[in-house]
Amino acid sequence: MAEFVINTDVVTKEASVEVTVTTDKPLPLGRHTFRLVVIDDSGNKSIPDEVQVIVADQQNPTAVISAPRIATFGASIPLDGGKSFDVGGGRVVQYVWTYLGPQ
């Protein structure tokens, strides 16, 4: 586990490392590039190799609909989806409302 700061080297003797990410300090959504240079026991350096990792929102949002319990006959009915929320780094950007008919 290591905290990575942009353009700051993290040096390890082990051949693997974990990029420490916490929910209060997440990597933003999108493409992130990591570079590795290895050095041998004579001090010779490799050319860099790079990988790209895409941090993606893979979690569905939650819809929360609310309305008044009772509406007056002939009056408009306000529907509110403002308590809906998303997790996984994204945000709700569209609301799709459907009338399912009388029951």
> Which span (4-12, 30-38, 53-61, 65-73) binds Ca ion, by CB under 5 A?
53-61
Nearest approach, Cβ of residue 75 and Ca ion (Å): 35
Torsion of CA 90, 91, 93, 94, to 10 degrees: 100
Nearest approach, Cβ of residue 88 and Ca ion (Å): 4
Binding status of residue 90 toward Ca ion by CB under 5 A: yes
CB nearer to Ca ion: pick between 51 and 93: 93
For residue 18, give both structure tokens.
Answer: 């974990």
Q: How far apart are the C-alpha atoms of 4 and 18, rounded to whole Å?
A: 9
Binding status of residue 57 toward Ca ion by CB under 5 A: yes
Torsion of CA 47, 37, 27, 32, to 10 degrees: 10
Give the interface with Ca ion as residue ranges (CB under 5 A): 57, 59, 86, 88, 90
